[in-house]
């Protein structure tokens, strides 16, 4: 497809040429996220090794285009006009899982889906990662945002991660960073846009496969009962920090509870609706738009601020909205 829809079609063509035959122009991006709204990426490329990461670095440097590292798209909201940059996916070469039972550690490639990792760990009698079955992202994305749920997160089990810095001259060399160096916080890390997590090493404990699988079944059951399916990007807003929520409320009043207390379940703008099952989820209709999701996010935040004084912060990553008016 032609790159003429973008503001700098020459840059798009330059990047695609440097990436070679594996590059895809005007490739689906929003459609590959779990919210399934939003437009294409100017260029998409799948990396299956260090040389591919080097090509991505060189293409970005020569074209001036931004690189967006895409995991499983479970935490992205892509603008309707798309993303004028290089969407970088990690391929099967980064999909390995290796167990070190002697040290109760598991090494997982960045493209491994967290639910797959949780189930394989359980089957191998490796406990401590059961919580990950409820997070629909990838290992790499989970390290980047310190994903978590069900009482745990990556910071609680991560030993170290191999990170490639695409802005460094040696853009294909991975550096091992221990958990402290990653500066993991609540749904955040010290990693920057040019950093690519390629694998992670996680700790756990020996357990019986049946016990671990029972715990996984309980988590899956809870999610089906309490969180919506369909087109959504997971939790929309971060939980308010203790100093804002009030120390006595911080552990019990989540972003979802704040939204619920404001009476916003079922609130709809266009093709987007606050979930009636969990108020911190926004579900899109088939064929919906990212613009409706953003408008609904803004209205939810406005009403919560008006009623409680709490200003909710987005947890989802907004992609391609740089030239559009944003209410955040």
Task: Name the residues annotated as catalytic.
Answer: 187, 235, 315
Rounded Cα distance between 92 and 180, Å, is: 28
Angstrom CA distances, 268 to 29, 160, 264, 297, stand at 25, 42, 9, 10
Rounded Cα distance between 57 and 322, Å, is: 22
Strand 272-274 to 268-269 pairing: antiparallel
**CA-closest candidate to residue 199, choices 53, 55, 87, 93:** 93
3-state secondary structure (DSSP) of residue 137 = coil
Helices in 150-285 by DSSP H: which ranges? 209-226, 242-245, 255-261
**CA-closest candidate to residue 254, choices 266, 264, 245, 263:** 245
User: What b-and-e string marks burial along 34-72, b requiring 16 or more CB atoms within 10 Å of the CB?
Assistant: bbbbbbbbbbbbbbbebebbbbbbbbbbebebbbbbbbb
Neighbours of 130 (CB within 10 A): 25
């Amino acid at each position: 497809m032609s790159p003429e829809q973008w503001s700098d079609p020459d840059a798009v063509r330059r990047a695609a040429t440097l990436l070679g035959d594996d590059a895809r122009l005007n490739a689906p991006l929003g459609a590959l996220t779990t919210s399934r709204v939003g437009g294409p990426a100017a260029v998409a490329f799948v990396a299956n090794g260090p040389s591919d990461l080097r090509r991505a670095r060189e293409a970005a440097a020569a074209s001036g285009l931004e690189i967006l590292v895409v995991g499983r798209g479970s935490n992205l909201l892509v603008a309707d006009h798309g993303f004028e940059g290089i969407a970088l996916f990690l391929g099967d070469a980064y999909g390995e899982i290796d167990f070190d039972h002697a040290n109760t550690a598991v090494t997982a490639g960045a493209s491994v889906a967290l639910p797959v990792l949780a189930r394989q760990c359980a089957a191998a009698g490796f406990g401590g990662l059961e919580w990950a079955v409820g997070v629909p992202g990838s290992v790499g994305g989970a390290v980047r945002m310190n994903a978590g749920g069900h009482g745990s997160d990556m910071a609680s089990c991560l030993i170290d991660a191999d990170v490639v810095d695409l802005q460094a001259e040696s853009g294909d060399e991975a550096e091992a960073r221990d958990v402290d160096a990653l500066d993991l916080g609540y749904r955040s890390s010290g990693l920057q846009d040019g950093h690519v997590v390629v694998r992670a090493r996680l700790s756990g404990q020996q357990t019986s496969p049946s016990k671990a699988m029972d715990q996984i079944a309980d988590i899956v059951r809870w999610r089906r009962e309490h969180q919506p399916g369909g087109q959504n990007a997971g939790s929309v807003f971060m939980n308010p920090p203790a100093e804002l929520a009030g120390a006595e409320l911080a552990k019990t009043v989540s972003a979802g509870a704040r939204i619920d207390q404001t009476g916003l379940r079922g609130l709809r703008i266009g093709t987007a609706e606050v979930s009636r099952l969990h108020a911190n989820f926004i579900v899109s209709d088939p064929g919906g738009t990212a613009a409706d999701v953003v408008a609904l996010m803004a209205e939810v935040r406005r009403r919560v601020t008006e009623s409680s004084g709490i200003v909710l912060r987005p947890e989802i990553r907004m992609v391609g909205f740089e030239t559009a008016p944003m209410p955040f």
